[in-house]
Structure 1
Amino acid sequence: MVTIPYAVMILAVYLLLIPVVHSSEMLPLNRLWILCGVLLAQTIVYGFIRRRTYIKICVGFAQTTKKARISMGEHLRTLSMGFFSKRDAGDLSTVLLRDYTEMENLASGLIPQVSVILVRLIISIIVLSAFDWRMVLAVILTIPMSLPFAIISYKRIGKISDKLLKAQQEAASRILEYVGGIQTLKAFNQAGEHFRILKETFLNQSKHSKRMELAAAPIGMIGRFVLNCGIGIVMLCGVWLLTGGDMSPFYYIVFLLLSLNIYEPIMTVFAFIADYARTNGSAQRIYILNNEKPLLEPKNSLPISDTEIIFKDVSFSYGDKEVLHNISFSIPPKGLTALVGPSGSGKSTIVKLVARFWDVDKGEIIIGDVPVTKIKNDDLLSKISMVFQDVYLFNDTIESNIRMGNSSAAMDEVVEVAKKAACHQFISALPQGYNTLVGEGGSTLSGGEKQRISIARALLKNAPIVLLDEATASLDPENEILIQQAISALVENKTVIVIAHRLQSIRNAQQIIVLDNGGIREKGSHDTLLKKGGMYAHLWEEQSRAGSWRLMDSIVN
């Protein structure tokens, strides 16, 4: 369809030359009008087909990209938390947003255009071969001469593309860091210094972007110059053949017209090489991310009979550093077990291993007589409610953030768990109450408010196992008492594991496990551990002394 205008042009030139070659014949106007009609019909049909094809291509590739992004999201959901601890958020967002967009642009724009160009090129060469093979050689002579410049530029662009991507990822991460931590930066008078760092990342990105454009210069300048020389070669060869009487003027004009139809598409393909080089890097990054090994899941998930949790000779490492050393213990069902110990002793790691954020290096974790590796991740997490030390709320209403625990819960249930989590009062005082937007990450709320909302979310889920990682760390004493009451209500029917630095808050725990340097130092109830006079008793004595000091300090002031 796209070659019809060139065929019409050649026929029109032939008809126009008839009176020149044969002076006795008249100009065939009727045939010229017919050619005009053919060209008009081709324009209408091509426009209609092109419109429908363009819409289908755009919609089709957009749908494909959407499905690919969703598939990637599902894949990321199956990866261990160890993967996310090694990858930067800016890196992942670049792959999901920029790289998939690059691939979509390549598929929807570059591939169809190159396909059309190659078809035009092949048809043109075939048509020209029917006239004079010597002129065909003159036409294609400069094409292989221009290819080395395309190859050199492709390799240069590929190398610079990786550096540019790293600069873009660094800029994205710095932006997130600067915006997210602006309050802390201002508090410590570091906003200017960190903005200088942010500015340097932008300058670095700009430098690599300029280098990317310069890498394409051999294609845009030298390659185009070599191809343009081909037009001159065609003209010289044609004049030589005309002089010798080996070619008619009509054939000469045909070669001049169609040679442009060959060189211009090739120049366009060369211009696409830069896009392809960048997109090739995007494809590799998507491929690498897609091939990250997920946590292995069984084909059929075994049912959990109860909520007893057993750690059997478990060892676990972050990279080369082992943080849990061959530990064994059991957590009885429907009770409160507290994990205490100094920072870095392995408390948070144990909680996350229960939820199978990672797989253990050695040993086994069993829940209800079933190893966690025999339970599908979705089935396992449906049995667990979690409250992390670092709370994240989504940029949505307070109600929606609480409803993450149970999207089908009635509003009365949402309010009830909010009351238990000691956050109903401050929510009600907000202008829009439960419909108040909390901002990205809950930026409009204080640390204690965010943590109480996350506790309400966990309460609403009503899972049989509750994991509380420093759940009361950001609460004042008054609200902490209310939270402890809510946790006490859970103990009757649920298995609760809580990490707490304030030993006063876990005095009534059914079991207290004292960790130190990745191992279990002591285990028992509060009274039992005090009688032992070991590490727990020492921590209790220190906190009691510190509490008395704070009380005396407040009386003096």
Structure 2
Amino acid sequence: MNKKTSKKTKQGLSRLLEIAGTKRWWLIGSVVLAIGSTVAQFVPYVTIMNILNELAAHAAHPEDISRELVKHWGIICLIAFGCYGMLMFISLMFSHIAAFNILYELRVALTWKMAKLPLGFFTKRTTGDLKKIIGEDVERVELFVAHHIPDLTSAIVFPLLIIGWLFTIDWRLSLIMLAVMLIAIVFQFSTTWSKKATEDTKSYMTIMGKLNASIIEYVRGMQVVKIFNHSSIALENLKKQIFGFRDFSNAITTNYAVTYLGFYNMLSATLLFIIPAAIYFLLKAPSYSNYISTVLIFLILGGGIFFPMHKLLWMTNMLRQNTIGVDLIDKILQKEEITDPDEPQTPRDASIEFANVSFAYDKIQVLNNVSFTVPPGTVTALVGVSGAGKSTIAMLTARFWDIEDGEIRIGGSNIKQIRTEDLMNIVSFVFQDNMLFFDTIEENIRMGNKTATKDNVIAAAKAAQCHDFIMQLEKGYDTLVGEGGTYLSGGEAQRVALARAILKDAPIILLDEATAYADPENEGKILDSFSQLIKGKTVMVIAHRLSTIRNAEQILVIDKGTVAELGKHDELIALGGLYKNMWDIYSRSREWKLNR
């Protein structure tokens, strides 16, 4: 892992400043202006205090009240209100500029980063999880910076100004108010910044990611669910996630009920502590008229301190969620990239060689000391039970992950010594789950070769046996398809993906049950057409239908992450091992028929 990957990152507001990059000064300017607006917001209380002093001093003789003095402080109050509005507006403008730049830069950084990550990263992350990070978590950063940074600044500065000023008026009542605030802050800390609260927030983000993934999976699979009348089964996982979120929310509500209500009630009851003390000090004061204004200002601010403190609780809670969201973003940004070699090599041919390859994912051993060679221009089939490691071998060939033990070579060159772009040009793959973009069928096929002509696209489609059904569509090759093939069946989508791979014309082709969704008739057509197109190419095919790979130059029987058997069909049958057992089971399944 490189230094950049292992570097300890900042957190909280300091991390936001770091993310802001060249626009951090907009964010700092927003904070400074927010402080200025808070001071302007505080000034009217000073003017009210001075007016109250003047009124109290001449309560017995109202005619002696200085109208000029009252007018003077009134004008200052109006000016302060104007400054508050202007400074807060500019502060919000600055914060929005910083926020939109952060939003843009974060999404660009994530997009570029994901383009450089190993393909295996995407096989282990759900669409809903990544959508939440790129969409919701990044959006939460923008929302926090744009709106909450000025509010958080105000929520911190305003109570400090109030308490500091009140201490200059009456330290005894100020101590009472401060004690109430500190007790409330203790409750707030246990609700917001304690270790348990942080862990609960992380759990919340994880549950939301799973819920997003379940919703996307349920909506995408609705057509299949309806066709096979499995609505209740498909709904179970979604219900499980929804009820899990409900139970988590109920548990959180129960766990924090006492601390949150303690915070809320302490601030709400500030006057219950101030009023008795104020009455006592008023009765003991040398001058009733001089002290009454002090009592009034404490009553005004004692009740009003609740709102900025409550805002502070909400803001700090948002900051914690934002910090955890940024941490999830950082985990992607700090992922180790697939690096290109300083001195790249060019494969001499399209041969594939695994030399003592072992591979583990998340500490689970997947492959153990796998060795085999695929000569150029030959077809090698991988067979075995589900979970044996067949797909992992195909993915490692395309460098979905980097291995620690052994070597994978293409044309005699270690794939780590081949540039990623060159490797992707050498290899084409068609897996069971195929991604079709919201674009025309023609453009989905042309992704295999951007320079291909319309005739080339049609030729590839014919080879993949999808030209006929495309021409039956209202707009033919100009028909729009959605993500995952919204308007196409599974078999049709797979044939479009196969046409894309055929058009790419790469020397190495990896097929993971490429005919899985095809009916028997089209399966034969695809295989017949494909056999003409793969001449001279190196093909590695993962097959469950053993009849499709009888003529392969070599068959690898994968069992528990190892190559248990290797040879041609007849050789493996004669061996009488795992492959023969699989063939016998497969043959019996083909002979099965429904009897009345």
TM-score by structure 2 length?
0.77
Matched, 1:348 2:391: yes
Partner of 1:223: 266
2:49 maps to amino acid: I
**Segment of structure 1 superposing worse, 430-439 or 277-286:** 277-286
For residue 480 of structure 2, the aligned residue among 437, 454, 479 is: 437
Deviation digits for residues 463-490 of structure 1 (CA, Å, limit 9, x no counterpart): 3332222223333455445534554454
Partner of 1:142: 180
For residue 212 of structure 2, the aligned residue among 155, 159, 172 is: 172
Partner of 1:28: 67
For residue 191 of structure 1, the aligned residue among 217, 225, 231 is: 231
Matched, 1:9 2:51: no
Partner of 1:339: 381
1:147 maps to amino acid: I
Cα 1:95–1:231 shift into 2, 3 Å: farther
Cα 1:212–1:63 shift into 2, 3 Å: farther
**1:531 and 1:264 mapped to 2: Cα distance?**
80
Kept in 2: contact 1:94–1:169 (CA 8 A): yes
How far 1:294 sits from its partner (Å)?
Answer: 3.0
**1:473 and 1:66 mapped to 2: Cα distance?**
41
How far 1:427 sits from its partner (Å)?
Answer: 0.8
Deviation digits for residues 189-233 of structure 1 (CA, Å, limit 9, x no counterpart): 442355466445434423433444552532553332453435426
**1:267 and 1:230 mapped to 2: Cα distance?**
18
**2:579 and 2:253 mapped to 1: Cα distance?**
67
Instruction: Give me the CA root mean square deviation.
Output: 4.1
How far 1:360 sits from its partner (Å)?
Answer: 2.9
Kept in 1: contact 2:118–2:338 (CA 8 A): no
**1:231 and 1:398 mapped to 2: Cα distance?**
74
**2:529 and 2:558 mapped to 1: Cα distance?**
29
Kept in 2: contact 1:297–1:375 (CA 8 A): no
For residue 56 of structure 1, the aligned residue among 94, 111, 120 is: 94
**1:113 and 1:544 mapped to 2: Cα distance?**
68
Superposition map of 1:237-256 within 5 A: 238-240=281-283, 242-243=285-286, 248-256=291-299
5+ residue gaps, structure 1: none
How far 1:247 sits from its partner (Å)?
Answer: 5.5
Cα 1:462–1:36 shift into 2, 3 Å: farther
Give secondary structure in 1 for the equivalent of 2:373. Answer: strand
Deviation digits for residues 376-428 of structure 1 (CA, Å, limit 9, x no counterpart): 43442233211112323234432332233234544343333222222122111
TM-score by structure 1 length?
0.82
Kept in 2: contact 1:298–1:374 (CA 8 A): yes
**Segment of structure 1 superposing worse, 462-471 or 452-461:** 462-471
Kept in 2: contact 1:522–1:535 (CA 8 A): no
Partner of 1:294: 336
Cα 1:460–1:15 shift into 2, 3 Å: farther
Cα 1:129–1:504 shift into 2, 3 Å: closer
Deviation digits for residues 414-453 of structure 1 (CA, Å, limit 9, x no counterpart): 3332222221221111012223233341143222211110
Give secondary structure in 1 for the equivalent of 2:384. Answer: coil
Superposition map of 1:382-531 within 5 A: 382-407=425-450, 409-476=452-519, 478-480=521-523, 482-484=525-527, 486-488=529-531, 490-491=533-534, 494-501=537-544, 505=548, 511-517=553-559, 518-519=562-563, 521-523=565-567, 529=571
Kept in 1: contact 2:92–2:150 (CA 8 A): no
Cα 1:287–1:490 shift into 2, 3 Å: same
Kept in 2: contact 1:514–1:536 (CA 8 A): no
Give secondary structure in 1 for the equivalent of 2:357. Answer: strand
Cα 1:272–1:407 shift into 2, 3 Å: same
How far 1:260 sits from its partner (Å)?
Answer: 5.0
**1:117 and 1:530 mapped to 2: Cα distance?**
76
Cα 1:236–1:486 shift into 2, 3 Å: farther
**2:418 and 2:280 mapped to 1: Cα distance?**
77
Kept in 1: contact 2:382–2:390 (CA 8 A): yes
Deviation digits for residues 48-98 of structure 1 (CA, Å, limit 9, x no counterpart): 443333233234224313432443444455555665555554444444444
How much identity, in percent, do the aligned residues show?
31
How many residues end up aligned between the 2 structures? 548
5+ residue gaps, structure 2: 1-39
Partner of 1:127: 165
Give secondary structure in 2 for the equivalent of 1:391. Answer: coil
**2:509 and 2:382 mapped to 1: Cα distance?**
17
Cα 1:117–1:142 shift into 2, 3 Å: same
Partner of 1:208: 248
Kept in 2: contact 1:405–1:457 (CA 8 A): yes
Kept in 2: contact 1:139–1:234 (CA 8 A): no
Kept in 1: contact 2:353–2:410 (CA 8 A): yes
For residue 365 of structure 1, the aligned residue among 408, 416, 439 is: 408
How far 1:519 sits from its partner (Å)?
Answer: 0.9
